[in-house]
Amino acid sequence: MQYRKDKHGEPLSILGYGCMRFSHKGAGIDIDKTEQEILDAFRAGVNYFDTAYIYPGSEAALGEILARNGIRDRVNIATKLPQYMVGSRAALDKFFNEELSRLRTDRVDYYLMHHLTDIAQWERLKNVGVTDWIAEKKAAGAIRNIGFSYHGNTANFLKILEDYDWDFCQIQYNYLDDTAQAGVAGLKAAAARGIPVVIMEPLRGGKLVNLLPEDAKKAMAQNARGWTPAQWGLRWLYDQPEVTVVLSGMNSLEMVRENVATASDAAVGTFTEPDFALIEEVKRLIRAREKVGCTGCGYCMPCPKGVDIPGNFRSYNVLGTEGRTAAWMQFVQTVGLTREPAFASQCIRCGKCERHCPQGLPIRDKLREADRALRPLPVRAVVWILRKFMFRRTKKF
């Protein structure tokens, strides 16, 4: 195993154990099988285990496995505050204490505000006194490092990053999402501030393995490197010095061992020109199935009516490559849940954006198409309810 440093110089294994996808038996977690997988990773040097309040049964299973093997003090636990459920200072303590109890521990090594998508959510938390609360927990040793996990757009990521003295952050990042969400711009901005970055969805939930088009799989299989699609995805990340830990949701010994092997010999700066060319070719083959040829460059922005043009197109493209559920999920997270609405339906067809698009895209027509596909009635209803809930007023602390 190789290690990179956290903000305070402590070593973190570059492979982190994602605890959201533990093996299941019947309706619950298969604790004995999961124990074998966790111990295998632990013996190979994995020291970062990432769970969350809302992953069903995950905190309790991780706590039980670490306790019964006496290894709690030899690993780092990362878990997350369900910030979207917090409306008062009392709720902060309630969730945190419940998490400590489930995890059978007196401290969380890396604690995250879960699933921020907009600076407004962080402001709401500050409004209920979260910064004082964090300071108290850190002083008491109950929280060692504080961070946030993020799914909104790049602009909001940068605002949240700059608004507080974070110890680390967690972003979705992979070779297909290099300009989506926080993106490479967010990754580099965090690193420039000395903030370690934990990567989630390094393989887009397995889609850069299972849902690769056949021609992309063939291009990888024929390459002299002999790497599997998973290895290509992970090695592309490890090649970047700004990446600290890459999470993988492992639920088989084979998966643990393949990922450990990759994390043992991948290194920064080892990708060659032909390696990058292969990744570009695979992206091209994936994007050939996309709905609109938007590269996410952002030259069309800002739109005077607040439309997130690349954000809408990104979700529309996921519809072509990964299907409706993935596209709607992406749309709700990155476009639907920003404080200032950014829907394609806000477009007044002024044409300003089209004058700046290097791809010469018929942006106005494509936005209309995207809006129809991304916002059927059920999605509109879900977004409306979530927005009501997430941007509700809270009493000043």
Summarize as ranges the residues that interact with ligand SF4 (CB under 6 A): 294-300, 303-305, 307, 309-310, 313, 347-353, 356-357, 359, 361, 363-364, 367
Closer Cβ to ligand SF4, 198 or 309, answer by number? 309
Closer Cβ to ligand SF4, 75 or 292, answer by number? 292
At its nearest, how many Å lie between ligand SF4 and the CB of residue 335?
Answer: 13
Closer Cβ to ligand SF4, 59 or 177, answer by number? 177
Closer Cβ to ligand SF4, 180 or 337, answer by number? 180
At its nearest, how many Å lie between ligand SF4 and the CB of residue 300?
Answer: 3
At its nearest, how many Å lie between ligand SF4 and the CB of residue 132?
Answer: 40
At its nearest, how many Å lie between ligand SF4 and the CB of residue 363?
Answer: 5
Closer Cβ to ligand SF4, 259 or 321, answer by number? 321
Closer Cβ to ligand SF4, 266 or 367, answer by number? 367
Closer Cβ to ligand SF4, 82 or 296, answer by number? 296
At its nearest, how many Å lie between ligand SF4 and the CB of residue 297?
Answer: 4
At its nearest, how many Å lie between ligand SF4 and the CB of residue 270?
Answer: 31
At its nearest, how many Å lie between ligand SF4 and the CB of residue 341?
Answer: 13
**Three-state secondary structure along the chain?**
CCEEECCCCCEEECEEEECCCCCEECCEECHHHHHHHHHHHHHCCCCEEECCCCCCCHHHHHHHHHHHCCCHHHCEEEEEECHHHCCCHHHHHHHHHHHHHHHCCCCEEEEEEEEECCHHHHHHHHHCCHHHHHHHHHHCCCEEEEEEEECCCHHHHHHHHHHCCCCEEEEECCCCCCCCCCHHHHHHHHHHCCCCEEEECCCCCCHHHHCCCHHHHHHHHCCCCCCCHHHHHHHHHHCCCCEEEEEEECCCHHHHHHHHHHHHHCCCCCCCHHHHHHHHHHHHHHHCCCCCCCCCCCCCCCCCCCCCHHHHHHHHHHHHHHCHHHHHHHHHHHHHCCCCCCCHHHCCCCCCHHHHCCCCCCHHHHHHHHHHHHCCHHHHHHHHHHHHHHCCCCCCC
